[in-house]
Amino acid sequence: MFLQSQLSWNVVVPAENIDAEGLMLQKAILIRLLEDFSSRKALKEIGYLTAVTTLDHVGEATVRQHTGDLLFPVEFSCITFKMFPGEVLEGVAHSVMKQGVFLRCGAAEKVYVSPSKMAGYKFVPGENPVYKNDEKSLRIEKGTKVQFLVLDEKYDEIERDFRAVVSLEGEFLGPILI
């Protein structure tokens, strides 16, 4: 699910940009905010950081003692992406193996479907491995669009990334026929 979030961060503007005034200083603050934003992949509470929408407030600067850099408290709005248990979403298979299928969904790339959560599907190895459901004439292979139910999502602090466990069991879940 995409969410609108409000965040408060501190943005450091290097000393060499301090001579800038007015719009140039605002531009330097915005550029640093966008650089900081893009370097962080996700936050546990709000999910994947997708896009800054507005810079809502820039506070008074403080000078860092040893470097002379300026530290600005900023408030901004952004779009984030987070999966919630019980939510039905769509993803695309990017890795099919005997141990299961990995899907991409929005910014998430570690969406895992266990073979035990694909009732009726059997793994068929080969150069292009596939899970087949002969009864319904369905198949899941690399590039297949799949509708799934989110069972659980966990945040990995070290990788700053989420891992989701999902299911294809239920009505209208599984490969999307085009």
Q: Which tokens belong to 11?
A: 């943005």
Let me know whether 31 and 10 are in one domain: yes
Tell me which residue has tokens 């999502």. 153
Q: Please give the pLDDT value at position 12.
A: 92
**Final residue before a domain boundary, out of 17, 51, 81:** 81
Let me know whether 57 and 114 are in one domain: no
Question: Which helix (H) or strand (E) segment is 122 a member of?
Answer: strand 122-124
Residue range 12-56, pLDDT digits in tens: 988 776 665 656 778 888 999 999 998 888 999 999 999 999 999
| Domain region containing 77 | 2-81
Let me know whether 13 and 29 are in one domain: yes
Let me know whether 102 and 142 are in one domain: yes
Q: Which tokens belong to 137?
A: 């004439």
Question: Which helix (H) or strand (E) segment is 158 a member of?
Answer: none
With a CB cutoff of 8 Å and minimum separation 6, the contacts of 129 are 96, 97, 98, 123, 141
Let me know whether 94 and 164 are in one domain: yes
CATH code of the domain in which 7 resides: 3.30.1490.120
The answer to whether 102 and 111 are in contact (CB under 8 A) is: yes
Q: Could you tell me the pLDDT band of residue 149, with boundaries at 50, 70 and 90? A: very high
Domain count, the chain: 2
Q: Please give the pLDDT value at position 18.
A: 62
Q: Could you tell me the pLDDT band of residue 171, with boundaries at 50, 70 and 90? A: confident
Q: Quick check: 136 pLDDT over 70?
A: yes
Q: What mean pLDDT comes out for the span 54-82?
A: 91
Q: Quick check: 117 pLDDT over 70?
A: yes
Identify which of 138, 178, 153, 157 has the alpha carbon closest to the alpha carbon of residue 87: 153
Let me know whether 70 and 96 are in one domain: no
Let me know whether 47 and 108 are in one domain: no
Q: pTM for the full model?
A: 0.81
Let me know whether 118 and 144 are in one domain: yes
